[in-house]
Structures are given as C-alpha cells and as structure tokens.
C-alpha cells in the first residue's frame, strides 16, 4: 500500500532521499519484442488457444499476460493437440522439434530470435566443414539444448568454464571451432575463449561475436552505474540467463546486487544505508515492472531518478511471413 506522502520532497516529508540511477539500455530486446508479438498475432490469426512450447521468454508477467489472452504454455510438443497451433519460444529449439511438428502436421510458428538462429546456421556450417564444435554455454538452458540440437550427437561439446577447457580431450591436430550462447557474460566468455585459443591455437572463431548486442549493451550499461551505487536491483527471472549475468556484472564491480521478479519482493531493510540505488532489467522484463519498482521505492523514499544511457538501440526484427500475410 502506498504511504500517505507526497511524491516530491518537502520540508515535512519524513522519507529520506534516494538517488536512483536507471541503466539504459535495459529491458526488452528486439528478439523478445518479436517473440511476444508472434504469440499475440498467432492468437489474432488462429484464435485461442495457441500453444507455446516453453515460456516464450523467461518472465512470469509476460507469460501470465499471454495466458490471459488464450495462450497455453507447455514444455514439450506431446502436450499439444494435433489441431492446435504452436509457437516455439525465443530461445530456439533442437532440430528434432520442428521435425516432430512436421511429422504430426502441426501448424507451428518459430519465435526463435534471429540472432539465435544465426548461431544455429553457423553450427551447421562448421559441421559441414568437418569441425568439432566447442559450445560455450550453461548446461540445461533451453538455448543450449536448442543450439546443440542443430548438429548430430557427438559433434558438439559443451564448455561451461575455464576449468572445463583443461579437461577437454582434443589435440592441436583436431579441426575445432567454437560458438557461444547469446546471453553469456562478456567478461567470462572472453576468459574461456582465451583459454581455448591458448590450448588449441588452430580453433576457428565464429565470424562475428555470438553474444548478442542486447546482452552486451545491458552488461555495459549496468557496469557504468554499478560502481556509483550502494545497491543494484536487476528485474528478471531466476531462469533468465541474461538477467542473472547482469547481477554478476554489478557484483563484480564490488556492489551489492539482487535479482527481483517484482517490486513486492523488495524488503525495506535492503535499503538501509543505501543513498544511491541502481536499477536495470533483463531482456525479458517489461518496462512496466521497472515503473512498479520505482513506485514501490517511492513509498519509502523521495526518489530522484536519473537515466544513464550508454548506447541507443534501434534493432527491430521482421515477423515471420506466415503472420503478416
């Protein structure tokens, strides 16, 4: 419940001041915008229910909003009836998933981010060239399952850490290349790539960085504000890789940082001794949740907001033709 105080500082206002540094860019990226629009357009075009395989993006608010419009979220295709349309999430799927959808003659729309699809195509090309792929990513993440599932078993090996590099069984005579998940820590990945290149000088790098523009821009933005803050709050889900990386980036700057899904999770005691608070949001977190946090903070403090912009983003991805025709 909102405290009965005016929203601006006044002589009688008992709330202490809080300087709020809001990182930009933050929140939705072009791939998330596109994925959510795909579900909304599929609902308009085909009517409810539209099935979605896996959370379209890793955010409960987004998922619940789409559920309210008639989307049904499932983890596997065998939960989708034969006569219903199904959307694949932004994180991408192994080749076996569209293959199964085609076998069952399901109507499917692929909301895989084009930047994830680009990594999928690179994986195919590297295999065609006879290279074994070392894939840098986090085990069990849907994007990792999707990308590793682009190539035959045994031709791609997951590398999670610098320590993993030491245990790889390959030699300097092997044809090797590497690729990465799109939402990794820029700094950690650099260290892993350096370890790979030191052990395997012949290893072929991807043509362009696989970590996407949105991931690196959000990390650079939180880095810019973190050192000047007493606490950083990152809005995102615990299963959101890119959001978790933002917390780590802030912590590595020596600043206390916490992941929150909603404003209601903020405990007043977190703000004790905090004069400057940093705020950002993962690529799957709506701006509405940022405003909700600002409102919540204003219950306890007289908040002065400052947006710190490190770069402007203009990326927009086209929708699949089946939804625009």
Annotation: binding site: 29, 58, 91, 113, 141, 182, 212, 240-242, 284
Residue 240 interacts with which of ligand SF4, ligand 0CH, none, CB < 5 to 8 Å by class: ligand 0CH
The answer to whether residue 143 is catalytic is yes
Residues within window 13-32 making contact with ligand 0CH, judged by CB under 6 A = 31-32
How far does the chain reach from its first CA to its final CA, in angstroms? 47
Order the strands of the 276-281 sheet from edge to edge: 256-260, 231-235, 276-281, 17-24, 302-309
Burial 252-268 (b: 16+ CB within 10 A, else e): ebebebebbbebeebee
Peptide bond into 25 cis (omega under 30): yes
Residues lying near ligand SF4 in the complex (CB under 6 A) are found at: 29-32, 90, 113, 115-116, 182-183, 212, 214-215, 242, 283
Nearer to ligand SF4, 87 or 116 (CB): 116
Calpha distance 85→106 (Å, rounded):
7
Nearer to ligand SF4, 29 or 93 (CB): 29
Residue 30 interacts with which of ligand 0CH, ligand SF4, none, CB < 5 to 8 Å by class: ligand SF4
Residues in the annotated binding site for [4Fe-4S] cluster: 29, 113, 212
Calpha distance 156→153 (Å, rounded):
7
Stretch near ligand 0CH under the rule CB under 6 A, chosen from 11-19, 65-73, 223-231, 238-246 = 238-246
Residue 189 interacts with which of ligand 0CH, ligand SF4, none, CB < 5 to 8 Å by class: none
Stretch near ligand 0CH under the rule CB under 6 A, chosen from 68-76, 224-232, 277-285, 316-324 = 277-285
Residues within window 102-161 making contact with ligand 0CH, judged by CB under 6 A = 113, 116, 143
Calpha distance 63→50 (Å, rounded):
13
Residues 6+ positions from 47 with CB-CB distance below 8 Å: 70
Nearer to ligand 0CH, 113 or 263 (CB): 113
Q: How far is the CB of 42 from ligand SF4 (least distance, A)?
A: 18
Q: Is 218 in the site for ligand 0CH (CB under 6 A)?
A: no
Cβ atoms of 199 and 174 closer than 8 Å: no
Give the ranges where 133-240 is alpha helix by DSSP (H).
Answer: 142-148, 162-167, 186-199, 213-226
Residues 6+ positions from 100 with CB-CB distance below 8 Å: 77
| Other CB atoms within 10 Å distance of the CB of residue 90 | 29
Integer CA distances (angstroms), 16 to 11, 73, 225, 300, in order: 11, 44, 21, 8
Stretch near ligand 0CH under the rule CB under 6 A, chosen from 76-84, 98-106, 280-288, 303-311 = 280-288
Given 18, 134, 263, 283, the residue binding ligand 0CH (CB under 6 A):
283
Nearer to ligand 0CH, 58 or 132 (CB): 58
Nearer to ligand SF4, 182 or 298 (CB): 182
Cβ atoms of 225 and 232 closer than 8 Å: yes
Cβ atoms of 75 and 54 closer than 8 Å: yes
Q: How far is the CB of 283 from ligand SF4 (least distance, A)?
A: 4
Contact residues: ligand 0CH, CB under 6 A:
31-32, 57-58, 90-91, 113, 116, 143, 182-183, 240-243, 282-284
- Residues acting as catalytic residues: 143
């Amino acid at each position: 419940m909102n405290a009965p105080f005016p929203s601006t500082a006044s002589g009688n206002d008992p709330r202490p001041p809080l300087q709020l540094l809001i990182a930009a860019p933050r929140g939705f990226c072009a791939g998330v915008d596109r994925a959510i629009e795909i579900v909304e357009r599929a609902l308009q075009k085909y009517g409810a229910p539209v099935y979605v395989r896996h959370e379209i993006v890793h955010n409960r608010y987004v998922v619940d909003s789409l559920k309210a419009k008639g989307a049904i979220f499932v983890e596997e295709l065998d939960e989708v009836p034969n006569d219903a349309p199904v959307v694949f999430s932004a994180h991408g799927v192994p080749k076996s998933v569209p293959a199964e959808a085609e076998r069952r003659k399901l109507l499917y729309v692929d909301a895989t981010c084009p930047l994830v699809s680009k990594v999928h195509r690179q994986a195919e090309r590297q295999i065609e060239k006879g290279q074994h792929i070392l894939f840098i990513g986090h085990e069990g993440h849907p994007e990792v399952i999707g990308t590793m599932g682009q190539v035959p078993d045994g031709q791609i090996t997951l590398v999670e850490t610098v320590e993993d590099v030491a245990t790889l069984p390959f030699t300097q005579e092997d044809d090797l290349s590497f690729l990465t998940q799109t939402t990794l820590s820029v700094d950690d990945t650099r260290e892993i790539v350096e370890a790979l290149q030191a052990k395997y000088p012949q290893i072929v790098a991807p043509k362009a960085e696989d970590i996407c523009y949105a991931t690196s821009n959000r990390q650079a933005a939180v880095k810019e504000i973190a050192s000047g803050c007493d606490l950083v709050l990152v809005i995102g889900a615990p299963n959101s890789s890119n959001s978790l990386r933002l917390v780590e980036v802030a912590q590595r700057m020596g600043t206390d940082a916490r992941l929150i899904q909603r404003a209601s999770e903020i405990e007043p005691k977190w703000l004790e001794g905090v004069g400057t608070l940093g705020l950002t949001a993962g690529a799957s977190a709506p701006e509405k949740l940022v405003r909700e946090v600002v409102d919540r903070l204003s219950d306890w403090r007289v908040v002065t907001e400052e947006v710190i912009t490190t770069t402007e983003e203009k990326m927009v991805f086209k929708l699949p033709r089946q939804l625009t025709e």
